Amino acid sequence: MMSRTGSSDPSDRFEYLQTLVTEFQDTDSEEAKEQVLANLANFAYDPSNMEHLRELQVADLFLDMLTEENDNFVEFGMGGLCNLSMDPECRHVILESGGIGLVTNCLSSRREETVLSAVTTLMNLLTPSSRSEITDPAILQCMLRFSLSQSPRLRGLAAVFLQDCCTEAQVARAQRQMQGEQTAVGIPLPGNGDLTDEVR
Amino acid sequence: MAAPARNSSSCWDVPDVYKHHEQQKICISRPKYRDGRKDKAVKVYTINLESRYLMVQGVPAIGVMPELVQLCALYGAVEEYRPLDEYPAEEFTEVYLVKFQKLTSARAAKRRMDEKSFYGGVLHVCYVPEYETVEDTRLKLQDRRRYVVRAVQSKARERKQKEDVNEETTLSNTATTSEAISRRHKTSDNDNTEKTSNISHYTDFPPLPLPPREYNYFLHKNHHETIPTEDKMGTLHNAVIYKKQQQGHSSSSSQTSLGTDTERGLTSSQSSAVVRFVPRTTHLENRKRKLKNAAEHSPTDAAMNNEILIGPKLPEPPKGDMEDESLNTTVSLIRSTMKQVESVPVPKPVEKKLKPRRRI
């Protein structure tokens, strides 16, 4: 029987992904955009799509989402980046596009998934050249606060970050600094309601 | 915008988005959607949502823990398990925490066991990464990174090999390839001609038609399933199962683009599939496309399109319809003729063949 090959056709996959990107850009429906965005972000979980997504500049698309008003856009975009940043090439693209700053801002999100994705992404983005930026005292202080969070997942990720991404000396310095002046990284802006959310 | 307070007893409705449910400290962030506030359960999966730890709910409280563990063990080694007494459970059911040795086992178990019946109950299985230790989390991330790097590298190698192979084949087989392509063009265009050619060239094996290629987003099947529960999305991680419909004529570019179903099996170790949320507009477009293509094909092709023809088709047996009215017409004609004949003295040969039909 002909053509029932097990191998996938890369051009079909690429076209499909391209369709999604086009859809995202063309549609006016917020809901449709969310779905497509989630779609793309989930595709980014499969390493076999990395190259296509790079070609389609989806990393930039995700990065653009981080400054959107729509919290879903931010969450999905951040999730997509979390997935993509596992790949060294995508990581490079994200770093080149000023990813660290944008991702750091997401640490202040009220959405737990967004924050978790941001922490993971920052860890993924750690390279010899990006290390100093990623271990900025402000970020370390944020991670220290996170390590006291009521959320087990956030506590865990923050702990991994502090253990793996910086030296003990850096952590100690950040702790000392926290006793003095605190920075605002990772603290969500006051909203309409109460601030009895977990310590972020 | 602060989230509204939630009733702690409705643990099934725990929202994933806001964390007001912290007091329980148990599975508050488990990925299970029952949230009626949202229109759709659209969710992005990251490594943070997956875990070696699974929570299994809905286990009938009839002492089947060993059976449950055995079932889990089918998917991979189980390191630990225990009942989660502290977790609110539906009446007559129990909740268990199961820790697998490998994330891939947990993934498979979740996919296979979720929503399945088990000793009269229905299991609900979800990841519970909040049970991970710091070390668990670290290892999980490291494994994930390593896996991605390896997978990307092997894909790049594979692609390079394919390109090299393609180069070679195109160089050496240009003539035969284009011949085959043009033949395939013909067969794919019009199944009718193929049918007649089957009958006329009885002994020849006609070239096989291209299998049907349809835009069939994986999500079509699963869309409604993913809306109520988030669990589905954990199970649908990486398999991209879709086929692309050919619009009219195939391009004569490369052989690989002809007739290949892009049905992709599950990728290596990640045996769960991705949820594709295709926006409605895309669905509409696809439907239009399908209708258009259906219209393009002649009606007699309908059956042919659905089956793969192997070998020549036998000629159809002659169909005789004994109920046909035209037979009676014939009879009347014959009878009248007979009357005429009888009236003439000169005998004429009677057509014995045409007997008046007996009506039963």
Q: What token pair was written down for B9?
A: 């007893």
Tell me what percent of the residues of chain B surpass a pLDDT of 90: 29
**Cα separation, A124 vs B13, whole angstroms:** 33
How close is the nearest chain A Cα to the Cα of B360, in Å?
49
- Res B198 pLDDT > 80: no
**Cα separation, B290 vs B300, whole angstroms:** 17
In DSSP notation, A28-91 reads: --HHHHHHHHHHHHHHTTSGGGHHHHHHTTHHHHHHHHTT-S-HHHHHHHHHHHHHHTTSHHHH
pLDDT at B103: 96
Cα distances from B222 to residues A26, A54, B45, B213, in angstroms, run: 25, 28, 16, 20
Can you name the residues that pair with B125 across neighbouring β-strands? B56
Interchain CB distance below 8 Å, A163 and B134: yes
- Res B184 pLDDT > 70: no
How close is the nearest chain B Cα to the Cα of A143, in Å?
14
Cα B231 to chain centroid, rounded: 19
Look at A178-192, B250-264, B281-295, B315-329 and tell me which has the smallest mean pLDDT: B250-264
The pLDDT of A37-64, averaged and rounded, is: 95
User: What is the complex's ipTM, to 2 decimals?
Assistant: 0.86
Interchain CB distance below 8 Å, A86 and B19: no
pLDDT at B1: 45
User: What number of other Cβ atoms are within 10 A of residue B268's Cβ?
Assistant: 14
The pLDDT of B88-104, averaged and rounded, is: 94
> Which residues in chain A have Cβ-Cβ distances shorter than 8 Å to B276?
39, 42
pTM over 0.90: no
Per the CB < 8 A criterion, the answer to whether A127 and A178 are in contact is: no
Which secondary-structure segment (H or E) carries A17?
A: helix A10-26
**Among B46, B52, B238, which would you mutate to test the A interface (most chain A Cβ atoms within 10 Å of its Cβ)?**
B46
> Which residues in chain A have Cβ-Cβ distances shorter than 8 Å to B279?
23, 27, 29, 31-33, 35-36
User: What number of other Cβ atoms are within 10 A of residue B83's Cβ?
Assistant: 16
pLDDT at B235: 39
**Among A15, A37, A42, A89, which would you mutate to test the B interface (most chain B Cβ atoms within 10 Å of its Cβ)?**
A42
**Cα separation, B247 vs B205, whole angstroms:** 26
Interchain CB distance below 8 Å, B277 and A36: yes
pLDDT at B336: 84
> Which residues in chain B have Cβ-Cβ distances shorter than 8 Å to A31?
39-40, 279
Interchain CB distance below 8 Å, A16 and B242: yes
Interchain CB distance below 8 Å, B47 and A86: yes
Token pair 């700053």: residue? A101
Q: What token pair was written down for B87?
A: 């977790």
By the 10 Å C-beta count (0-12 exposed, 13-18 middle, 19+ buried), A173 is classed as middle
Under 8 Å CB-to-CB from A42, ≥6 apart: which residues? A83, B44, B45, B233, B237, B274, B275, B276
Cα A19 to chain centroid, rounded: 24
pLDDT at B276: 52
The pLDDT of A74-98, averaged and rounded, is: 96
Token pair 């395939």: residue? B184
The pLDDT of A112-118, averaged and rounded, is: 97
Cα B191 to chain centroid, rounded: 26
Return the closest-CA partner of residue A62 out of A86, A81, A36, A39: A81
Q: What token pair was written down for A17?
A: 């992904």
Nearest CB partner across the interface for B19, out of A23, A75, A197:
A197
In DSSP notation, B161-189 reads: HHHHHHHHHHHH-HHHHHHHHHHHHHHHH
Confidence of residue B315 (pLDDT cuts 50, 70, 90): low
Can you name the residues that pair with B94 across neighbouring β-strands? B59
Per the CB < 8 A criterion, the answer to whether B271 and B147 are in contact is: no
pLDDT at B129: 96
**Among A113, A194, A195, which would you mutate to test the B interface (most chain B Cβ atoms within 10 Å of its Cβ)?**
A113
| pLDDT tens-digit map of B29-82 | 333 433 334 444 688 999 999 999 999 999 999 999 999 999 999 999 999 999
Up-side HSE of residue B320: CA atoms within 13 Å toward CB?
2
| pLDDT tens-digit map of A128-178 | 999 999 999 999 999 999 999 999 999 999 999 999 999 999 999 998 888
Which secondary-structure segment (H or E) carries A145?
A: helix A137-146
pLDDT at B126: 95
Quote the mean pLDDT of chain A.
Answer: 88
- How many pairs of residues across A and B have Cβ atoms under 8 Å apart? 206
CB of A30 within 8 Å of a chain B CB? The answer is no
By the 10 Å C-beta count (0-12 exposed, 13-18 middle, 19+ buried), B275 is classed as buried
Calculate ∠ Cα B295-B297-B301, nearest 5°: 130
Quote the mean pLDDT of chain B.
Answer: 66
